[in-house]
Amino acid sequence: MDTHRWLEDGPADQREVWRTGLRDLLAEVFASDGVPALSEAFVRGIDEGSGHRHLLALDDGRVVGVLAVDAKEMDDAAAIAELAVHPAVRRRGIATALLREAATGIDPNSQFSVWSHGDLGAARGLAQGRGARTVRELLKMTVPCGVGDPVRDTLLTAVASARTTVEAADLEILDYTAACAEFGGDVVDEEWLRVNNEAFAWHPEQGGWDLDRLRGARTTDWFDPAGVIMLWYRDEVQGPHCAGVHWTKHPAGDTHGEVYVVCLADAVRGRGLGGPLTLLGIGHLIDGGAEAVDLYVEGDNTPAVATYRRLGFEVVHRDVVYRGMV
């Protein structure tokens, strides 16, 4: 190992070389582990000016490791990072060195947490060796829903019931395109942000979004405005209000669709709309040809996990956050 460098601090021509090397590293890690090492936001941050920072471990100029962190959290006592090390050079102290180097730029009392996608053995060993503890678990749950799958009819019946429930609550179901045509794009985006930030005020990644963040998230090649299901009600004095948003994800050619983001406005919380809104999005994914639907849920959200199990979902993957890595 010869050096560490922050990707974003390098000269322009060198940054392009490092970006290519970093993408190659992530591809090789995925091929070895079967799990993406970095979340979608940090991968986008390689090219975007999103405020993400990527500390590279270089061996004779080759990128063999990376630690990614949100620059806004660098001074936070609970900064959350993501790590990847090339399979050929693991257990040589590269991850530890990256953590120590990154920690020089944050609060000395930091508990510096790290995501472990897939909770693989190497990550567990690193965490145990450093006395870290698990503070968060994110479950991926999947249900098969292709033609012929026994759960499909159950889901479609539940989707029809969900539509009836929403309409009985005097809410209008519109996708993003239809909502923009009805209310104007500026109003729709403003309402989308309001609902998102109300629902995720507690959430370290999904909360506190602004318009630039929302627009940036929609630049992905899989974004489909028809796959953003929104619930609306009209106020004669204050105008239209969004009650909820279900942003689905179904990349072209992928057999799996995803319950990407579901959020409800504070004004309608407690009215039993979260389940129906989730089902409306699942119905859209099934209609779009998805043969399976994935969703992510916090491991300690026992009621939600139980609800999804009743719909046929099963846990297929776990991501965890370890705290106290430095």
Q: Does 64 appear as a known binding residue? A: no
Q: Does 211 appear as a known binding residue? A: no
Q: Does 207 appear as a known binding residue? A: no
Q: Does 123 appear as a known binding residue? A: no
The span from the CA of 54 to the CA of 8, in Å, is 7
What residues does 241 pair with on adjacent strands?
A: 233
Residue labelled with tokens 């916090």: 298
Half-sphere exposure of residue 195: CA atoms within 13 angstroms, side-chain side: 27
Q: Does 31 appear as a known binding residue? A: no
Q: Does 190 appear as a known binding residue? A: no
Residue 143 phi, psi dihedral angles, 5° rounding: -130, 130
The span from the CA of 286 to the CA of 162, in Å, is 15
Q: Does 84 appear as a known binding residue? A: yes
Q: Does 35 appear as a known binding residue? A: no
Q: Does 40 appear as a known binding residue? A: yes
Q: Does 93 appear as a known binding residue? A: yes
280 Cβ contact partners less than 8 Å away, ≥ 6 residues apart: 159, 162, 163, 166, 173, 229, 246
Residue 265 sits at the vertex; the CA angle it makes with 193 and 190, to the nearest 5 degrees, is: 25
Measured CA distances, 109 to 101, 244, 325 (Å): 15, 39, 12
The span from the CA of 256 to the CA of 23, in Å, is 24
Q: Does 29 appear as a known binding residue? A: no
DSSP per residue, 91-118: TSSHHHHHHHHHHTTS-TT---EEEEET
Residue labelled with tokens 């053995």: 121
Q: Does 91 appear as a known binding residue? A: yes
Q: Does 92 appear as a known binding residue? A: yes
Q: Does 94 appear as a known binding residue? A: yes
Q: Does 80 appear as a known binding residue? A: no
Pairing of strands 3-6, 133-144: unpaired
Between helix 176-183 and helix 185-199 the angle, nearest 10°, is 120
Tell me the three-class secondary structure of 210-232, residue by residue: CHHHHHHHCCCCCCCHHHEEEEE
Annotated binding residues for acetyl-CoA: 83-85, 91-96, 262-264
Annotated binding residues: 40, 83-85, 91-96, 205, 249, 258, 262-264, 296
